[in-house]
Structure 1
Amino acid sequence: MSDPSIRPIPADRIARWDYEADVVVAGFGVAGASAAVAAATAGAQVLVLERTSGWGGAAAMAGGFVYLGGGTPLQTACGFEDSVADMQAFLKAALGPGADEAKIDLYCEGSVDHYRWLADEIGVPFKAEFWGEPGWEPPTDAGLMYSGGENSAPFNTIARPAPRGHVPQMADKQSNGERGGGYMLMKPLVDKAIELGVEAVYDVRVQTLVVDADGRVTGLVAKQYGKTVAVRARTGVVLATGSFAYNGAMVEAFAPRIAGRPAASIEEHDGRAIRMAQALGADLAHMDATEVAFFCDPQLFIRGILVNGRGQRYVPEDTYPGHVGQATLLRNDNQAFLVIDQAAYEEGLTRPTATPMLRMPPTWVCETVTELEAEMGLPAGSLQTTVEVYNTHAANGEDPLLGKKPEWVAPIGSPVAAIDLRGMTGGFTLGGLRTSVDSEVLHVSGDPIPGLFAAGRCTAGISAGGYVSGASLGDGSFFGRRAGASAARN
């Protein structure tokens, strides 16, 4: 069904501007807040339009990871060495074929500076404590964690591993909401924006872009409490409204594997900004790319083996859980079972975790693998062969098949159980508008669209299929800064 309201409006049809500023930012999440701060710091008058009744977006509900490295003060304080070259090599390997290498290079080269901007200029607190347990995020206020499988196969053979998941400190932290790390990233950003004179208007839903006779973006048309309002941008518009994970039609068209299973995103992520820019001829990139959450506690699955619907292992269980989710949904038909013996299962239950809700009870429990295989309905001999091969090498603390680290390799004994994890995945989209390293929205011709900038999950950032926790908040804030600065000087 066509939507004529998405098409750009000529500026000469705007009879009156209801709001006006140098830089107009759509969205008050991490990318929008970073853009607003950067633009205001450059001397611009900044107006932020937010469709909900308050700031924060998906970022404020997130665990708060910001992916940073290259030798940040937090890494050094926790006793880890890192380099720009190692960070670049890892990200280019981990973020999928076709990743924007120019963006990755710039992001890595500017990572230490970005950390200092967040910590010193914005006031985001980071506790100098390393969390080394398996998990999606630290259950404590520790500030540093491996958040991308850097120390797991095959990446630990590509670049020197270093933890790069930087988590804002939060006392009495909860996994989300106003007691999570994402909130403690957003609140200082918003406070800084207000300190710099940024004005925010809430309950405003952007509808389309306004362009002058030369094709330059000069503003937005939006809805506020059902009323149409026109917003003029004297120097630039920044789009920062999030992904398209909650736009069913777009997901079906571009990323059908996660249709009906959005996760780690919010309903406001409807792709509107992407469509608005497309109507001006904006180019897209990596629209099929998705991050995939795997709904099982890493403290459990790291201690067993994950097998697919054919009874075969398919991923090193000690890697980043997002890699497990992508491997399960995208390459194994969303078929997964955790095979684990009683001793390992009970040990996993005693370990600290931020995701106790993901500790499922066993679906089947048997004395032998042969019995378990039959109960699970797997092809005869398939699971038996998998466990036999795994146990043969595990007796020597090795996993030559997938490279699981020795500290997590142990033979599977008896009684043995399996947890049915079929369909236990969900995700969010990673693709979006193609942008330059200065966050200019690019036309399909390759040229920047004058006056239009974007950052965050409405763009194709540094990810191109692969993912690491912290990439969204990291590149959203990093390229959000560049969007704001570009729009201010435009």
Structure 2
Amino acid sequence: MSEAGQSAASNRGMEQTRRGFVKTAGIALAGAAAIGLAGCAPSGSSDASVDATAEGTWDEEFDVIVVGGGIAGQAAALTVATEGNGATCLLIEKGSTPSGNSPFCKGDAIWTNDVPTFATYLKELAHGTTPDDVIDAYAEGLGWVFDWVIELGANKDEMSITEPATDPEGQNAEYHELENSYAFGYFAIGKSKDVEVKGPNHVQVFLEQAVAQRSDVVDYRTSTPLVDLVQDAETGAVTGVIAGEKNPKRIRAKRGVIMCLGGFEHNPEMMQNYLGQGAAVPAAGSMNTGDGHRICARLGADFWHMNNVAGFWMAGRDLENTSYTNPPIYKPAPKGFGITVGINGRRFYMDWDGYNVREKYPYLSDMTVHVGSRHGHMQFGGEWPHLPMPSKAWFVFDSEGLAQGAIPPSDDGSTPDSKGYAYAADTIEELAALMEVPVEELTTTVEQWNECCAKGKDVYFHRPESTLVPVQTPPFYAQLCAPSFLNTDGGPVRSAKGEILDYDGNPIPGLYSAGEFGSIWGHYYEGGGNVAECLVFGRISAQNALANTAE
């Protein structure tokens, strides 16, 4: 889901390597608990005493079972409905409505009409973390995904469409310094700015409506969490699921189970273990708690990309750290109207870190000295790694910064401090006391910053001249900041056919995945790539499940 320009949370109230993940994952749940998966027990599992072996009696059966009602799951279910020649599909969703990242993303998907060229860019982004055949399968999907959604019934006239660029002059890539980065475009269902949109205004809404129109084939059940997978002890094949809140059912999948459960954004234990950011605040849905990760670990699945994430940046929060005071994805980046300091009162990074700070640079330009934030990747030592962020920081600005947009103005004219959005003080010394940071450190930091602004050059962290807004006119404000992010990418390893692989690189028979549940993105990420991945691998996985012979 983590898409360029994503607007999810603002609409919600502003409110180890591959082989080192867990060697004992398939042996026992205790092994999974030891590496941080114990916190992933799915909702409803505490009441479940249903036998997960293959010998039990089935309550129901379908050809394909899809777990997760986001974009990936809906795409998989639609594939069964439209390409399954009468095959039946059960689509189960943990929440009363989908509550992962899909409903909250902007909805942009990337696409291309030059698959070989764009595939070379994708391989550069991956830095060797994803096999070429998997990237090639994804790239091929980007060649048909636009036409596919039109075939499913999307109204082209109501779509926002950016045609794939054919030369560097039309490039809009996040990593424009990489070769062939220009060869793609974007589309978004129901986002046209030229006509009145009367149909679905988001890809998630469109897919849900399309599934509802095919209810004779797809049985879509909400409030039905996955409790466990059923695996044949002799063959290792996944033969069905155990699902449901109060009285879980054993449901047979004759051709396969497709896991579309998203990431582990709302599992602080996993966030700390794999990303070192247990205090991080996810910007979107609330139900991605890593349930499927634990279940697949017990079956012996290999894992990848557990340290990859669309983030982090230090986002403005209220003083109780319960909601965003700024939309977490916001342009222009409000952090350009002041400075960010740690609990020691010092700046500690390039603090103009609003999500998706995308400046225009020439194709193949040298980015080793530039700054910005590209889905949490920031220039550090000439490279663009994910930066570790502290659990707490402060955005410090003055009345002039407030007037320019450090915090969006209130409709009732109230000040940030009166709403609990920030501390306010007439002096930096008083502000430091409210923040509980060393007074001398903060006053020195502000003095150094103002000197940089006066000279037009940030000699410490090289922020662009356009962001050098001094902190000198009272009242002064301090806004609490917490590390924020869009989505995680880690999960079970996926083959080019969408199969979930074990530690020997072999497919676990009958088990597939799509979307952010073991995403292909293992290093850099191109905005719009996750929605496209949900669509592409939702279809690929369903097609390969359908290719299995029903027993």
| TM-score of the superposed pair, with normalisation by structure 2 | 0.65
Question: What SS is found at the alignment partner of 1:258?
Answer: coil
Q: Which residue of 2 is the match for residue 384 of structure 1?
A: 447
Name the CA distance, whole Å, in 1 between partners of 2:464 and 2:133. 32
State how 1:307-456 maps to structure 2 within 5 Å.
Answer: 307-309=340-342, 310-317=346-353, 320=356, 323=374, 330-340=387-397, 342-348=399-405, 363-364=423-424, 377=439, 379=441, 381-393=444-456, 408-409=466-467, 412=470, 414-415=472-473, 417-423=476-482, 425=484, 428-456=487-515
SS in 1 for 2:508: strand
Quickly say closer, same or farther: Cα 1:25–1:348, change in 2 above 3 A.
Answer: same
CA distance 1:98–1:33, change in 2 (3 Å) = same
Partner of 1:61: 103
SS of 2:516's partner is helix
Report what 1:47 is aligned to.
Answer: 89
C-alpha spacing 1:390/1:431, structure 2 compared with 1 (3 Å) = farther
Q: What displacement does 1:448 show?
A: 0.9
Aligned-residue offset at 1:333: 1.5
Give distance in 2, aligned partners of 1:312 and 1:388.
17
Partner SS state of residue 80, structure 2? helix
Q: Distance in 1 between matches of 2:79 and 2:308?
A: 29
In terms of mean alpha carbon deviation, does 338-347 or 444-453 score higher?
338-347
Is 2:223 aligned against 1:194? no
Structure with greater helix percent? 1
Whether contact under 8 Å (2:107, 2:203) holds in the other structure is yes
Match for 2:224 among 186, 204, 209?
204
Q: 1:289 aligns with which of 305, 308, 313?
A: 308
Counterparts of 1:400 and 1:158, CA distance in 2: 28
State the Cα deviation string for residues 18-53 of structure 1 (Å, max 9, x = none).
Answer: 222222212222111111122333325132242446
Per-residue Cα deviation, 1:429-470 (whole angstroms, up to 9, x for no partner): 3211111122100010011111111112322x1322555554
Residue 238 of structure 1: how far off its partner (Å): 1.0
Residue 79 (structure 2) pairs with residue 38 (structure 1): yes
Query: Structure 1 pair 259/305, CA: closer, same or farther in 2 (3 Å)?
Result: closer
User: What is the alpha-carbon distance in structure 2 between the residues aligned to residue 250 and residue 413 of structure 1?
Assistant: 38
CA distance in 1, matches of 2:209, 2:120: 28
> 2:149 aligned with 1:113, yes or no?
no
- Per-residue deviation, 1:207: 2.5
Q: Do residues 21 (structure 1) and 74 (structure 2) align?
A: no
Change in CA separation of 1:384 and 1:127 when aligned onto 2, cut-off 3 Å: farther
Q: Does 1:236 align with 2:256?
A: yes
CA distance in 1, matches of 2:374, 2:464: 16
Are 1:246 and 1:262, in contact at CA under 8 Å, matched by a contact in 2?
A: yes
Distance 2:533 2:51 in 1: 28
- 1:257-308 deviation per Cα after TM superposition (whole angstroms, max 9, x unaligned): 13574441322x2323222222221101122333346344533525425434
User: What CA deviation, in whole Å up to 9, does each residue of 1:359-395 have, x standing for no partner?
Assistant: 886645668x89988986462533433443355346x
**1:385 aligned partner, one-letter code:** Q
Q: 1:105 to 1:403 in 2, by over 3 A?
A: farther
Deviation at 1:252, TM superposition (A): 4.7
Please state if 1:275 is matched with 2:257: no
What SS is found at the alignment partner of 1:452? strand
Cα–Cα, structure 1 residues 331 and 489, in superposed 2: closer, same or farther, change >3 Å?
same
Amino acid at match of 1:19: E
Instruction: Specify the SS of the correspondent of 1:110.
Output: helix
Q: Is the 8 A contact 1:220 1:231 kept in 2?
A: yes
Is contact 1:291-1:466 (8 Å) kept?
A: no
Q: Is the 8 A contact 1:35 1:480 kept in 2?
A: yes
Q: CA RMSD in A?
A: 4.7
Partner in structure 1 of residue 36 of structure 2 = none
Partner of 1:77: none
1:158 shift after superposition: 4.0
3-state SS in 2 of match to 1:61: helix
* Alignment counterpart, residue 458 of structure 1, candidates 517, 522, 526: 517
* Separation (CA, whole Å) in 1 of partners of 2:254 and 2:269: 34
Give the number of equivalent residue pairs: 441
> Percent same amino acid among aligned pairs?
20
329-338 or 20-29: bigger deviation? 329-338
- Relative to structure 1, the CA distance from residue 257 to residue 424 in structure 2 (aligned partners, 3 Å threshold; closer, same or farther) is closer
CA deviation map 1:137-176 (0-9, x unaligned): xxxxxxxxxxxx9677xx444466799664432699xxxx
Do the aligned residues in 1 keep the contact of 2:282 with 2:486 (CA within 8 Å)? Answer: yes
TM-score (norm 1): 0.72
Conserved 8 A contact 1:64-1:183: no
For 2:289 and 2:487, the matched residues in 1 are separated by 11
Change beyond 3 A, Cα 1:216–1:246: same
- Using the alignment, how far apart are the partners of 2:127 and 2:423 within structure 1? 34
What is the Cα deviation at residue 116 of structure 1? Answer: 2.6
Over 3 Å counting, the alpha-carbon distance change for 1:272 and 1:304 in structure 2 is same
In the superposition, relative to structure 1, how do residues 128 and 370 fare at CA in structure 2: closer, same or farther (>3 Å)?
same
Task: Please list every run of 5 or more consecutive structure 2 residues that lacks an aligned counterpart in the other structure.
Answer: 1-28, 31-40, 163-170, 194-198, 317-325, 358-372, 379-384
- Aligned equivalent of 1:144: none
1:98 is aligned to 2:155:
no
Contact 2:159/2:189 (CA < 8 Å) preserved in 1? yes
Q: 1:487 Cα deviation (Å)?
A: 0.6
Paired AA for residue 116 in structure 1: D
1:217, 1:450 within 8 Å by CA — same for their partners in 2?
A: yes
Distance of aligned partners of 1:89 and 1:419 in 2 relative to their CA distance in 1, 3 Å threshold: farther
Report matched runs for 1:210-221 at 5 Å.
210-212=230-232, 214-221=234-241
* Residues 1:216 and 1:308: Cα distance change in structure 2 (over 3 Å): same
The code of the aligned residue for 1:441 comes to I
> Corresponding residue for 1:78?
none
Aligned to 1:142: none
